[in-house]
Structure 1
Amino acid sequence: MPHVVTQSCCSDASCVYACPVNCIHPTPDEPDFLTAEMLHIDPASCVDCGACISACPVDAIVPHSKLSESQQPFLTINADFYKEPRPRPVLAPVMPAPEIHRDRGPLRVAIVGAGPAAMYAADELLTQPGVQVNVFDRLPVPHGLVRAGVAPDHQKTKQVSRLYDKIAAQPGFEYFLNVEVGEHLTHDELLAHHHAVIYAVGASTDRGLGIPGEDLPGSTSATNLVAWYNGHPDHADDRFDLSHRRAVIIGNGNVALDVARILTADPDRLAATDIAPAALEALRGSRIEEVVIVARRGIAQSAFTVPEFAGLLDAPDIDVVVHPDEMVPDPTTELLARDGELSHSVAQKLSLLRSARLDGEPGHGRRRISLRYLLSPTAISGDDRVTGVEFDRNALTVGEDGGVRVESTGETERLEAGLVLTSIGYRGVPIAGVPFDHSAGVIPNADGRVLDGPGGSVLAGAYATGWIKRGPSGFIGTNKSCAQETVTKLVDDFNAGRLREPRSGAKALNRLVRERQSAVIDRAGWKLIDEAERSRGAARGRIREKITDQAELALIAGPAGRGTETTVLGRLRRRR
């Protein structure tokens, strides 16, 4: 009974090391691990031991006999990955944790950011006894994009946060949430209290289109909408006009698919999730009937991943359609397909796209998601708000090097819409006092060691991991191997005596932080917030109800909130 990976897994490779017969690939030591859209289980090698099920933090693995009808395509997706033999040892080689030399004394590290990259870095450091890790984040709650980026109807993926809570429960770990480095504390001040600082702040801004009308009301980034429906404190008061029958999303990656699915979903299906209450109420009154996802290139260059699109096709009460004239692959893709050299990922995407409906009349009472290709936006039209998007139609040509290029045909098209969302990539944001490569949108670094500028010298004691290190690529679990590389460099530098000893201790750090930010939230404070959100959610039949008011969060987590939630709510009512 082979087991099957059934969703867009987190790719942290826990299942790889749990498997006793090395039947889950690619493994972190294989060259395609960092670019793989998901992990795959070899049905011919699987011995049905169930070790991978226990190890998977997001419940993505299911025995093939228990697959639901909607999960059946993943049986083929997993098996097809092994059509070409993969040379492999009996067991996947485990990457050893970096070992700290005992004669160097206890290591103290500050990590800036509290998302997956930060938590995996903390976990790597805490494998060694005596290490102190202090995690700083400008938000009052941790877990980064797992909390504020993963769609509310993907609760299995959000389950990886349970792993992060286990990491945070280890001795030597502390949170300093609601503290912004660059405002409340400087880089130099962190270094004065730690041997090293790891920056794991992600890539929090979107790339713009750079076209007329982009600043009109009704035009914004998909990331802003995601943050709004996920209850991000910065976006709790945002408003989006959902009164027009059509919304357009520029870009067709996984975020675009998530947003389209949430905008067309039955709100009753979202009511039990952790979607923000204000967003749920707005979606109940939405008049959107169609979401159009637009890409400038062709079907073979689709940016979404296979498991995400497979999940979209299974979304109930939604028609997923493709324009028939745009279902033709480019000549290079057709040639590779004829010669049997098409990559597994592209072949699977084309197969799934062909299973979508061709454009036609929507089913009765059903909303639709339309995938459009070969269109480049040239202007967003409207006077006082968005009314539509102008496009140039493209054609795909093949250069002498075999590369596929986009060229305008001179034809144009206009789509009426009341909401336009951009989803064409992300960029990191500079932190005061920390080098930044503005062209690449990352902190310049060499394998995780921060440089004083692009191509410059190593900045002693400063490190980077995650998207701010490598750019916006990979998946949640990709940050684990990325963190391993960075932490290895840090420990090497510590063991070699290249890091300066902290000038001040833990008490001085706590005193300094609280002088600068009295509303700092520690590990115990986050636990109280977590319990309060789960309690409120349970009372309403929901997984959790996120608290978005920063003053309320600080009150629950602070000294005044070290009691029951009832006590905290009573204080809040008196304040109001």
Structure 2
Amino acid sequence: MTEQKEANRPLRIAIVGAGPAGIYAADALMKSDAEVSIDLFERMPAPFGLIRYGVAPDHPRIKGIVTALHKVLDKEQVRLLGNIDYGTDITLSDLQRFYDAVIFSTGANADRALPIPGIDLDGSYGAADFVSWYDGHPDVAREWPLDAEKVAVLGVGNVALDVARVLAKTGDELLPTEIPPNVYAGLKENKAVEVHVFGRRGPAQAKFTPLELRELDHSPTIEVIVDPEDIDYDEGSEAARRHSKQVDMVANTLEQWAIRDQGDRPHKLFLHFFESPSEIVGSDGKVVGLRTERTQLDGTGNVKGTGNFRDWDIQAVYRAVGYLSQNISELPFDDQAGVIPNEAGRVLVDETADGSARYMPGTYVTGWIKRGPVGLIGHTKGDANETVACLLDDSSHFGAAESPELDAVTDFLESRGIPFTTWAGWYRLDAHERSLGEPEGRERVKVVEREDMLRASEPHKV
């Protein structure tokens, strides 16, 4: 029997990060046999994390996941406490006073480095920063330089496709979405007419999902172009196609595009394979080109350099080579992998002399901070289930929280003068954004300024 059951109260759990990973963890807890009371802490005034600030605005299908997440946050066992910055407004030591256990689901929102010459030139950007801009993140600049006519995107994953598609579309094409006025104004002035996406390996190694890839060709203004010479497979590539329907579908789509006649749509989007970026070329501190080395397959699906280089006329470069989680105060962090060291979600401190693991008591991770930024949004459900199972297995060993009362943490936040938002506040902000979109026949117009979000949410009011 746990101390919590003896005290005749639910298990009090804090989840730091109210994106899909954190909400899935809350759902897993509520679906267990345990009696739980959950508080979700979120740095933004609004919930949903990656769905709101990491998914391209022209992807309403993916944003539909919000409907399922809504149902979780509507449950009486869970509260949302937004506009709270972990490490500044509240610490792990603070949380341990109010909760029996803490789950971190802080995700990954920075760009992974690409160590090639010229990466720091003016006109060289991280994809994550651009995504934050076009998704109306309150903590980034309101303007984005879009004066390059020829643009390179480095990477062959879905984020690279999102960035390339947004750069290639017109502002008017994206206007029916939820983009805020500053983003529409910026995209309206975008001068890009050529977007080049570069991958160092071949079509069978691309990380696109088939649906995302095919969506490139749906725009009436974008001509997708694939060089027939880039369609090549070795034994490893053919094996990948046989073992994965998705890999085969991607390869088939690229093959069809490579053999078709080029059309006359005004914006050209080139998908290049077997081109490894080796240098961003600059002049007077600005990007003026990209140098790539031609690669070739080695039989295993990997590639090797050929020593043949090509210079491309490019004025801006976006690297989409992966997201990176950021260090979290008071927790161990693996800088190389960009994750909190863990075993099945238990935060790993170190190993004892006999080789056994030593864990941080009552502290867990889930989502990208647990396993790195790979996989689709839905994959974090499995992470959450594994982490929650470990937490519940450990619960009989938790020390009782000092102040587990529901009001204790909110009283603490109010004493610090922190204007925290609530789930009821999200409903008010949601209604406000929808009212902004209604006169234009749009589902919503996203509010960007943090102060405006707080004003619409009415902090502290339930």
Q: Distance in 2 between matches of 1:431 and 1:488?
A: 23
1:394 matched to 2:295: yes
Q: What is the alpha-carbon root mean square deviation over aligned residues?
A: 2.3
The Cα offsets for residues 496-544 of structure 1, whole Å up to 9 and x where unpaired, read as: x211111013222112222335221122222211111111111222111
The residue that corresponds to 1:258 in the other structure is 162
Identical-pair percentage: 37
Residue 317 (structure 1) shift = 2.9
1:194 matched to 2:99: yes
Contact 1:236 1:548 in 2 (8 A): no
Q: What does 1:165-176 correspond to in 2, within 5 Å?
A: 165-176=70-81
The Cα offsets for residues 112-150 of structure 1, whole Å up to 9 and x where unpaired, read as: 001000011111222357521111111111101111111
Q: Distance in 1 between matches of 2:89 and 2:350?
A: 24
Structure 1 portions without partners, runs of 5+: 1-99, 563-576
Contact 2:199 2:273 in 1 (8 A): yes
Q: Distance in 2 between matches of 1:298 and 1:437?
A: 31
1:530 matched to 2:435: no
Query: Aligned AA for 1:466?
Result: G
Q: What does 1:132-151 correspond to in 2, within 5 Å?
A: 132-151=37-56
1:380 matched to 2:285: no
Q: Distance in 2 between matches of 1:121 and 1:508?
A: 23
Contact 1:117 1:200 in 2 (8 A): yes
The residue that corresponds to 1:440 in the other structure is 337
Q: 1:429 aligns with which of 310, 326, 341?
A: 326
Q: Distance in 1 between matches of 2:424 and 2:245?
A: 46
Q: Distance in 2 between matches of 1:475 and 1:173?
A: 25
Residue 313 (structure 1) shift = 2.9
1:182 matched to 2:87: yes
Q: 1:275 aligns with which of 155, 168, 179?
A: 179
The residue that corresponds to 1:542 in the other structure is 442
The residue that corresponds to 1:449 in the other structure is 346
The residue that corresponds to 1:502 in the other structure is 401
Residue 363 (structure 1) shift = 3.1
Contact 2:127 2:160 in 1 (8 A): yes
Residue 205 (structure 1) shift = 1.4
Contact 2:4 2:10 in 1 (8 A): no
Q: What does 1:287-436 correspond to in 2, within 5 Å?
A: 287-334=191-238, 336=239, 341-358=242-259, 363-382=263-282, 383-398=284-299, 403-436=300-333
Contact 2:421 2:459 in 1 (8 A): no
Q: 1:234 aligns with which of 133, 136, 139?
A: 139
Q: Distance in 2 between matches of 1:430 and 1:559?
A: 28
The residue that corresponds to 2:15 in the other structure is 111
Residue 430 (structure 1) shift = 1.0
SS at match of 2:139: helix
Contact 2:178 2:443 in 1 (8 A): yes
Residue 359 (structure 1) shift = 9.0
The residue that corresponds to 1:84 in the other structure is none
Contact 2:324 2:338 in 1 (8 A): yes
Q: Distance in 2 between matches of 1:506 and 1:457?
A: 31
Query: Aligned AA for 1:126?
Result: M
The Cα offsets for residues 12-50 of structure 1, whole Å up to 9 and x where unpaired, read as: xxxxxxxxxxxxxxxxxxxxxxxxxxxxxxxxxxxxxxx
1:285 matched to 2:228: no
Contact 2:223 2:265 in 1 (8 A): no
Q: Distance in 1 between matches of 2:9 and 2:348?
A: 26
Distance 1:372 1:154, change over 3 A: same
The residue that corresponds to 2:152 in the other structure is 248
Query: Aligned AA for 1:535?
Result: S
SS at match of 2:85: coil
Distance 1:346 1:555, change over 3 A: closer
Q: Distance in 2 between matches of 1:158 and 1:110?
A: 25
Residue 296 (structure 1) shift = 0.8
Normalised by the length of structure 1, the TM-score is 0.75
Query: Aligned AA for 2:186?
Result: A
Query: Aligned AA for 2:393?
Result: D
Q: 1:551 aligns with which of 413, 426, 451?
A: 451
Structure 2 portions without partners, runs of 5+: none
Query: Aligned AA for 1:112?
Result: V
The residue that corresponds to 2:65 in the other structure is 160
The Cα offsets for residues 299-345 of structure 1, whole Å up to 9 and x where unpaired, read as: 211111122112223333321111222112234334x48xx945322
Q: Distance in 2 between matches of 1:265 and 1:175?
A: 36
Query: Aligned AA for 1:300?
Result: A
1:475 matched to 2:376: yes
Q: Distance in 1 between matches of 2:210 and 2:386?
A: 28
The Cα offsets for residues 214-254 of structure 1, whole Å up to 9 and x where unpaired, read as: 111211111111111111112242422x2222110000100
450-459 or 242-251, larger mean C-alpha shift = 450-459
Residue 556 (structure 1) shift = 2.3
Contact 1:426 1:472 in 2 (8 A): yes
Contact 2:242 2:248 in 1 (8 A): no
The Cα offsets for residues 70-93 of structure 1, whole Å up to 9 and x where unpaired, read as: xxxxxxxxxxxxxxxxxxxxxxxx
Residue 559 (structure 1) shift = 5.3
Q: Distance in 2 between matches of 1:111 and 1:559?
A: 20
Distance 1:274 1:236, change over 3 A: farther
The number of equivalent residue pairs is: 453
Contact 2:84 2:418 in 1 (8 A): no
Q: Distance in 2 between matches of 1:176 and 1:453?
A: 32
1:212 matched to 2:111: no
Q: Distance in 2 between matches of 1:224 and 1:105?
A: 44
266-275 or 527-536, larger mean C-alpha shift = 266-275
Contact 1:375 1:394 in 2 (8 A): yes
Contact 2:153 2:320 in 1 (8 A): yes
The Cα offsets for residues 439-484 of structure 1, whole Å up to 9 and x where unpaired, read as: 2111111111111148841111001111111111221111112111
Distance 1:413 1:524, change over 3 A: same
Distance 1:108 1:499, change over 3 A: same
147-156 or 552-561, larger mean C-alpha shift = 552-561
Residue 545 (structure 1) shift = 1.0
SS at match of 1:552: helix
Query: Aligned AA for 1:518?
Result: I
The Cα offsets for residues 534-562 of structure 1, whole Å up to 9 and x where unpaired, read as: 11111222111111111222222235989
The residue that corresponds to 1:7 in the other structure is none
SS at match of 1:404: coil
SS at match of 2:332: coil
Distance 1:287 1:363, change over 3 A: farther
